[in-house]
Structures are given as C-alpha cells and as structure tokens.
Amino acid sequence: MKGLFITLEGGDGAGKSTQIRNIERFFTEKGLVVVHTREPGGTQISEKLRDILLDSHNTEMTAVTEMMIYAASRAQHVRELIIPALERGEVVICDRFVDSSVAYQAYGRGLGDMVAEVNRHATGGLRPDITFWLDIDPAAGRARAAKAGELDRLELEKLDFHYRVYEGYKKIAEAEPDRVKRINAADTVEEICSSIYACLEELCAEKGI
C-alpha cells in the first residue's frame, strides 16, 4: 500500500473526534489527500449495519451476532473504501478498527480469540500503520458521553462491561507498543495534539514523507 492507515481507539468520551480533525490538518498541511472514515460505517452498506448495531432497542442481540455484524461491516469498508484509498497513496484516518472489536467483543463480551480470527478474514490481514489509543477511565468517559447526547446500545452497557473493554485496550497496547501509542485522554486538547503530532512526525520520517 502506498498510503498511510491511521486509526484512533478509546472508550466513550475519549475525545477521538477532536483529535481526528487535528490529524487531518497535520496531513493536509503536508499536501496529502486525507480520507476520514469511521467504524462501524464508512460505506452505504456498512452504515446500515451500524444502525443495527447501535440501535438501543436491539437488546436481544447476542454477543456472537454482534461480533459478526461488526466484522461484516468492516469487510465491506476495507474493500470498498480503505484499500482503494491506500492504493491511491492517500492517508486514511479511521475512528475505530479491529482493536475495538477485540476490546469490546473479545474482552467486553468474553468471546476470546475467535474475534481476532474472524476479523483477520474480514480485513484480509490489513493493519494500521499507527494507532492512537486515547486512554480514559471508563467512568469519566461515560460521563462525558452522557453529556454529549443520547447514548447508543453499547454506551448503555453497565460500567463493569466498559472496564473489561478498558482492560482489553490495555492488553492490546502492551502487546503492540510499536503500533499502539497510548495517549492520556485526561490531558488538555493541546497536550494530546502535541503528543500525537510527535508520533506522526516520527512516522513520516520513517516513511519518507
């Protein structure tokens, strides 16, 4: 792939949207084409699956069904949008990717290793060049999310679920420190942006950008 694939991860209320805009500005100022997308979603089909996943009325959805729908949405997203953009040499910034499924379904739902295996097929093995995990305590993040508006099906889960998700993110970050950059989401917006920009400068130097 000629482009760069950058993902942001974190629990509810971590402030991903603000930092995605900052990352987009970082690369547009370098004259690069940036594609900003999200998961679940990003394509017409994937957005329809997002509606099913996050609908707060779908309380009967099983953990395995949830995992499969996320993977289906991602499979479409990867092949229809992400890979073509990377092949054109563009920078793809994605709000969530496979790490979310591992954190939420493998750890939060207790589905274990099957989540990574299913998503390996869904993505064709595609991995981000760099991932920023905005680390926020689940209770604090949930309070932020509640202030922002109506909570979706996942956000409405009990707090112990979100702490399991948080532990999942910790395990991912510990296992892949070269890819996953842990950022303190309790810092100011400016401090977070500065930390992310420092990592991006290193990445660009490695890639010759």
What residues are paired with 9 via a beta bridge? 133
Q: Which domain holds residue 200?
A: 4-207
pLDDT for 157 equals: 85
Structure tokens at 94: 């994605």
C-alpha count within 13 angstroms, C-beta hemisphere, residue 4? 25
Given CA atoms 133, 139, 141, 145 in this order, what sign does their dihedral have? positive
| Per-position DSSP letters for 88-137, written without gaps between them | TTPEEEEE--HHHHIIIIIIIS--TTHHHHHHHHHHTT---SEEEEEE--
Which domain CATH number covers 47?
Answer: 3.40.50.300
Q: Mean pLDDT of successive 10-residue segments in the chain (209 residues)?
A: 94 90 97 97 97 93 97 98 98 98 97 97 97 95 76 85 96 98 95 98 94
Taking the C-alpha atoms of residue 185 and residue 182, their distance in angstroms, rounded to an integer, is: 9
- Walk across the sheet containing 180-184 and list its strands: 34-38, 91-95, 4-9, 130-135, 180-184
This prediction has a pTM of 0.94
Taking the C-alpha atoms of residue 144 and residue 185, their distance in angstroms, rounded to an integer, is: 12
| Per-position DSSP letters for 61-79, written without gaps between them | --HHHHHHHHHHHHHHHII
Burial class (CB in 10 A: 0-12, 13-18, 19+), 140: middle
Q: Residue 55, Cβ neighbours under 10 Å: how many? A: 12
What's the domain count of the chain? 1
Question: Terminal CA-to-CA distance of the chain, rounded, Å?
Answer: 14
Helix (H, G, I), strand (E, B), or coil: what is residue 29? coil
pLDDT for 40 equals: 97
pLDDT for 144 equals: 82
pLDDT for 150 equals: 66
Helix (H, G, I), strand (E, B), or coil: what is residue 138? helix
